[in-house]
Amino acid sequence: MDFVFERKINYYETDKMGVVHHSNYIRFLEEARCQMLDANTMPFSAFEEHGVTIPVLGVNCDFKQHVTFDDVIEIKPVIKEFNGVRLTVGYHVTNKKTGNLVLVGETKHCFTDMNLRPVRLQKQIPEFYDKFMLLKH
């Protein structure tokens, strides 16, 4: 089953032209990624309890269509790549009402200890490693 995160656009997230400012999409992707991890019983707090962080290494967004205040977007995050040290999450964002594609993007991450030294998730949190392997497309 694919995970879908719904989000209503707030007025303060729009710019003078009345459309969502492009910088907000990075926040939306992070919200979707965190909710996907929660839905798969891997909340960020559990990573931190095990001494693991997941910094962002890069973000890529290809904007297709704008959305405005009160629109509802659906974000579908998928695990594109995962090797236990690095993670790439892909995203498709659509306008719920119209079904139109709004954005295609991806974020790249790695797993580190609290001192930002790379760690192997299979060694640090083997049960989460197994869950990522099942989620990988």
pLDDT in tens, the chain (137 residues): 589 999 999 999 999 999 999 999 999 999 999 999 999 999 999 999 999 999 999 999 999 999 999 999 999 999 999 999 999 999 999 999 999 999 999 999 999 999 999 999 999 999 999 999 999 87
Distance from C-alpha of 18 to C-alpha of 3, rounded to nearest angstrom: 29
Altogether, the residues listed in the chain come to a count of: 137
Could you tell me the residue range of the domain that residue 118 belongs to? 5-135
Instruction: Indicate which CATH number applies to the domain containing 35.
Output: 3.10.129.10
- Which residue is it, tokens 């974020």? 107
- Sheet-wide strand order for 56-63: 5-8, 72-82, 86-95, 101-110, 56-63
Q: Are 72 and 9 in contact (CB under 8 A)?
A: yes
Distance from the Cα of residue 61 to its chain's centroid: 12
What per-residue confidence (pLDDT) applies to 137? 77
Handedness of CA 103, 108, 57, 38 (dihedral sign): positive
If DSSP codes are grouped into helix, strand and coil, which group holds residue 110? strand
What per-residue confidence (pLDDT) applies to 1? 59
Say which residues have a Cβ less than 8 Å from residue 2's Cβ, sequence separation at least 6.
76, 78
Distance from C-alpha of 76 to C-alpha of 67, rounded to nearest angstrom: 16
Q: The pTM is what?
A: 0.94
Take residue 41 and report the two structure tokens written for it: 């019983």
Number of domains comprising the chain: 1
